[in-house]
Amino acid sequence: MKLIVTGGAGFIGSCFVRMLIRETDHSVAVLDKLTYAGNLENLEPVSDNPRYTFHRADIADAEAVDQVFADVQPDAVVHFAAESHVDRSIFAPQDSINTNVKGTFTMLEAARKYKTARFVHVSTDEVYGSIDEPYDADENYPLKPSSPYSAAKASSDLLVLAYFTTYKLPVLVTRASNNYGPYHFPEKLIPLMISNALENKSLPVYGDGMQIRDWLYVEDHCRGIYSVLEKGTTGEVYNIGGNCSLPNIEVVKRILAATGKDESLIKYVQDRPGHDRRYALTNEKLTKATGWEPRMDFDSGLTATVQWYRENPGWVQRVKSGEYQKFYDLNYTSR
Ligand code: NAD
Ligand code: TYD
């Protein structure tokens, strides 16, 4: 099978591409703009493989996207490309709208024109908004996104599903919980806290630190997406959760323990505006349909992740030294 993978130079997309090249016979064409979050170093392990090609393009640029579809003639698309960070979407919402909404629309139009046989749209549990105890969201839970990021993702989910209803485009939507693992840009909770702890810098905890997230190891997420690509029913939505709910402060304390650092590094800072209190998912639909289940337990996944960051300080320094990152640090994260 020939696949186009958008956002394949990012954290989760690159894990998916490395997995496909390592474990399947598929050909993979990565379509990526290489924003601050896209990094060809993440794809170095597959760069010499003849089944891998790289196409630099903006998914919101219809002409450029059309050219990639014309070159590749894909059997399937797995659509990861997005502005993926909530804090950045608060700081610069237009990027979220342009990439997550308009970019998804452009991809759908190209898939329709080229009669792509399967279109997997990678989405997030954040579209459900904050979920009160004791409920876990299933796929029919109402959409109530809180941030520009999650509102843009929810909008794109609706657009994708409308293409199934209206045009019979064979789409599938996945909604995963918070991922962690190697190659994660050090702006999200886990990689930021690990890299700060390793550099003896303070660990900024928003508000009271009692917000709850469900943690999913990135390889488990990629196996889940692949099982949906292979076995999912078109027009359907599948949650992909890690069965691992933890308050942020507990995650931070486990990172300090895993890095051998003291809890005095914790610094409570101003809360994020519109901060969702709790995310929680049920995976039953995906497990029933495909047999998928998360394999990695949190402490083993965290140990493997900390080890990767210890072994790759050069990667961390290089991704943090980009111009856009410096601009963002100066204007948003200096608190
Ligand atoms: P990431 O920020 O690490 O990577 C995003 C990738 O998309 C980068 O390679 C970037 O260059 C590319 N990109 C951004 N804008 C683009 C554009 N206009 N055109 C082409 N390429 C563009 O993101 P991630 O954490 O790997 O997330 C991937 C997907 O998974 C996103 O759709 C996100 O919403 C979803 N998701 C992420 C998580 C998580 O915890 N990180 C959880 C659930 C779902
Ligand atoms: P994040 O990794 O940004 O993912 P998301 O907002 O998509 O869930 O944040 C995870 C949680 O960690 C969220 O509740 C916000 C919190 N957080 C902090 O407390 N401090 C930080 O420096 C960051 C980046 C996040």
Domain containing 314 equals 189-212+244-319
Is any ligand 1 atom within 6 A of the Cβ of residue 104?
no
Q: Which residues contact 140 (CB under 8 A, 6 or more apart)?
A: none
Atom 5 of ligand 2: nearest residue by CA position: 86
Whether residues 44 and 193 fall in one domain: no
326 within a domain of the structure (yes/no): no
The residues that bridge with 175 in the sheet, in sequence order, are 123, 239
For a substitution probing ligand 1, which of 12, 36, 215 has the most ligand atoms within 8 Å of its CB? 12
Ligand 1 centroid, distance to 262 Cα (angstroms): 32
* Banded pLDDT at 328 (limits 50, 70, 90): confident
**In the predicted structure, residue 331 carries a pLDDT above the cut 90:** no
Task: Read off the pLDDT of residues 108-147 as tens digits, 9 standing for 90 and up.
Answer: 999 999 999 999 999 999 999 999 999 999 999 999 999 9
91 within a domain of the structure (yes/no): yes
Is any ligand 2 atom within 6 A of the Cβ of residue 206?
yes
162 within a domain of the structure (yes/no): yes
Whether residues 170 and 197 fall in one domain: no
Task: Read off the pLDDT of residues 258-296 as tens digits, 9 standing for 90 and up.
Answer: 999 999 999 999 999 999 999 999 999 999 999 999 999
Atom 5 of ligand 1: nearest residue by CA position: 10
Whether residues 232 and 253 fall in one domain: no
283 within a domain of the structure (yes/no): yes
Whether residues 28 and 175 fall in one domain: yes
Is any ligand 2 atom within 6 A of the Cβ of residue 255?
no
Whether residues 228 and 296 fall in one domain: no
Residue 180 is among the residues annotated as catalytic for this protein: no
Whether residues 78 and 170 fall in one domain: yes
Based on the structure, what is the number of domains in the chain?
Answer: 2
Task: Read off the pLDDT of residues 21-43 as tens digits, 9 standing for 90 and up.
Answer: 999 999 999 999 999 999 999 99
Task: Read off the pLDDT of residues 179-193 as tens digits, 9 standing for 90 and up.
Answer: 999 999 999 999 999
Whether residues 110 and 48 fall in one domain: yes
Residue 52 is among the residues annotated as catalytic for this protein: no
CA angle in degrees (0–180, nearest 5) for 122-123-126: 160
Q: Which residues contact 111 (CB under 8 A, 6 or more apart)?
A: 69, 77, 119, 163, 169
Is any ligand 2 atom within 6 A of the Cβ of residue 211?
yes
Closest atom, ligand 2, to C-alpha of 187: 24
Residue 125 is among the residues annotated as catalytic for this protein: yes
Whether residues 62 and 170 fall in one domain: yes
CATH number of the domain within which 71 lies = 3.40.50.720
324 within a domain of the structure (yes/no): no
Whether residues 283 and 261 fall in one domain: yes
251 within a domain of the structure (yes/no): yes
Q: Which of 58, 125, 136, 220 is catalytic?
A: 125
Share of the chain above pLDDT 90, in %: 95
Whether residues 139 and 33 fall in one domain: yes
**Whole-structure pTM value:** 0.98
Whether residues 232 and 294 fall in one domain: no
Task: Spell out the long-range contacts of 272-277 with Cβ–Cβ below 8 A and sequence spacing 24 or more.
Answer: 272/86, 272/87, 272/90, 272/206, 272/207, 273/90, 274/90, 274/146, 274/147, 275/146, 275/206, 275/207, 275/211, 276/126, 276/129, 276/130, 276/146, 276/147, 276/150, 276/211, 277/130, 277/210, 277/211, 277/212
Atom 23 of ligand 2: nearest residue by CA position: 189
Q: Which residues of 90-102 are buried (b: 16+ CB within 10 A; e: fewer)?
A: bebbebbbebbbb
CATH number of the domain within which 199 lies = 3.90.25.10
Whether residues 151 and 200 fall in one domain: no
328 within a domain of the structure (yes/no): no
331 within a domain of the structure (yes/no): no
As given in the structure block, the two tokens for residue 29 are 């064409």
Q: Note the ligand closest to the C-alpha atom of 273.
A: 2
Closest atom, ligand 1, to C-alpha of 184: 3
Q: Which of 83, 95, 126, 219 is catalytic?
A: 126
Q: Is the Cβ–Cβ distance between 173 and 160 less than 8 Å?
A: yes
